[in-house]
Structure 1
Amino acid sequence: MKIAIDQDRCRGHGFCWTICPEVFDLNDDGYAEVRTEDVPAEFTDAVRSAANSCPERAIEVG
Structure 2
Amino acid sequence: MNEEREVESIIQQITETLKKLRYGSIVITVHDGEVTQIDTTEKQRFSLTGKHRKQKR
Q: TM-score, normalised by structure 1?
A: 0.25
Higher normalized strand content (fraction of residues): 2
Higher normalized helix content (fraction of residues): 2
Q: TM-score, normalised by structure 2?
A: 0.26
Which structure carries more relative contact order (alpha carbon 8 Å, separation 6+)?
Answer: 1
